[in-house]
Chain A
Amino acid sequence: MPFIRIALATALLAAGAAQAAGEPEFALTIRDHRFTPGEVRVPANVKVRLVIDNQDATPEEFDSHALNREKVIPGRSKASVFIGPLAPGRYPFMGEFNASTAQGAVVAQ
C-alpha cells in the first residue's frame, strides 16, 4: 500500500514539523481596508512571523509577489504569514481584495 505509506509519511513529517520555532513576531493591522503600519521594519537575514489582525468585517488577501506569499484572512480574525530570511531591501505587499487602499511594505534592514 504505497499510497497509504506516502500519505502517512507526509502527514507525520508535517506533524513533526509542527513543533513551533520561535520566530520574532511583527504585528500588522487591517482596518478600513488599510494596513497599519504601512511599513513593517524587520531584521534582515532572519525568518519572521507577521501576525495580521484583520479588524474589518470582510476578508482580505495578503498578497506579495516580492515575498511570494498569498494568504486569505477572514473578516475579524488573525493569521500568521512567515517570511524570510530576507536580504536587505523593501518588499511591497497589498490587500488584493482592496488594492486601491490596502498597500504596504516590509523593509528588511
Chain B
Amino acid sequence: MRPARRTRTRRLLAILAASNAVVLAPHAHADPDDYVAVPAVEYGEREVELRLGTASATDEGRESAASLAFGYGVTPWWATEIYGKWHRSGATSFDAIEWENRFQLTEPGRYFADFGLLVEIEWPRDRAEGYELRLGPLMQKDFGPVQANLNVLIERHYRASEPEVTELGYQWQLKYRFAPALDFGAQGFGEVGAWNDWAPLHEQEHIAGPAIFGKFALGGRQVLKYDAAVLFKLSSAAPATTLRAQLEYEF
C-alpha cells in the first residue's frame, strides 16, 4: 500500500475506532470551564492545560469547575488529552476523568473551511452518571484577520441511572487577530436539549460574550497560550454570568 493511502486508511480506522468505543459506552450540560475546540493539530506538541470556570447562581446554586490536563500531538492529524476534572457546587469534589481526542481532517487553509472531529469520553466519579460521550465536527474558517469557529456536538450518557438521551450542543467563537499576545473576539456555548426533539426555548441554555486570546513565546518549543471570556445569558435557563479561562503551557 502506498504511504499516502496507508496514512488515509489509518486515519479513518482511528476515527471509526474512537467513534465505536464511545458508542458502546451510555446528558448534555456544559461545564463552566468548557472551551471551544479547534480542528488543527500540532504534531509532536506536548501541553499542560488548566481550565477554570464559574457560573453565577441558578436554581441549583453557583457552579464552578476546574480541569487539569496533559495533551500530546501523536500524529499530524491526531491530538489526545487526558483531563482530571473538579467541580464545586457547595463543596469541591473530584468530578471525572476525561479522554479527549481531536482529529484534523483537512489541512488548514486548503479548502473553503477547515474540518476536524472531536471525540470525548468521560468517566464521572459518580457512577450514577454512567459514562459520557461527546462527539461532533469541528469547523473553522478565516475571513481575512477574523477566525470563525463552529462546533456542533452531541452528548450522551450510557449506563446512567437517569433515562439516556442524546443531547445537542454547540460552541462558536470569533477571533480578530490583533497581536500575538492579545487577540480579541467573542465566544458562545449552548444546548438545545435532545438532538431530535429540542426543548422549549425557555429550557435551552445559551450563553455568549466577549473573549480575549493570546500567546507568549518563551523560547524554543515553550509557549504559553491563554483565552478567557465573560459569557452572559441569552436564554432564561442559562446562568446570568459565566467566567471561563484556559491556560496552556506547550513544550
| Interface set of A (CB-CB < 8 Å, partner B) | 1-4, 6-11, 13-15, 17-18, 21, 47, 59, 61, 65-66, 68-72, 74, 80-84, 87, 96-97, 99
Which chain A positions have C-beta within 8 A of B20? 4
Which chain B positions have C-beta within 8 A of A18? 8, 106
Complex Cα distance A3/B132, Å?
13
Those of B204-243 within 8 Å (CB) of chain A? 215, 217, 219-221, 223
Which chain B positions have C-beta within 8 A of A65? 177, 179-180, 215
Instruction: Name the prevailing secondary structure of the B interface residues.
Output: mixed
Q: In the complex the two chains form, is B15's CB within 8 Å of A7's CB?
A: yes
Interface size on B, residues (CB 8 A): 45
Report A42 CB to chain B, min CB distance, Å. Answer: 13
Q: In the complex the two chains form, is A3's CB within 8 Å of B19's CB?
A: yes
Complex Cα distance A69/B140, Å?
12
Q: Mark B30-62, 1 if CB is under 8 A from A, else 0.
A: 000000000010111100000000000000000
Going nearest first, the 3 A-B pairs with the smallest beta carbon separation are A82-B109, A14-B105, A7-B19
Q: Mark B69-81, 1 if CB is under 8 A from A, else 0.
A: 0000100100000
Known: A69-B109, A70-B40. 8 other contacts (CB 8 A): A7-B19, A10-B137, A11-B105, A72-B43, A72-B73, A74-B44, A83-B109, A87-B144
Which chain A positions have C-beta within 8 A of B105? 10-11, 13-14
* A7/B110 contact (C-beta < 8 A), A14-B105, A70-B40 known: no
Complex Cα distance A18/B119, Å?
22
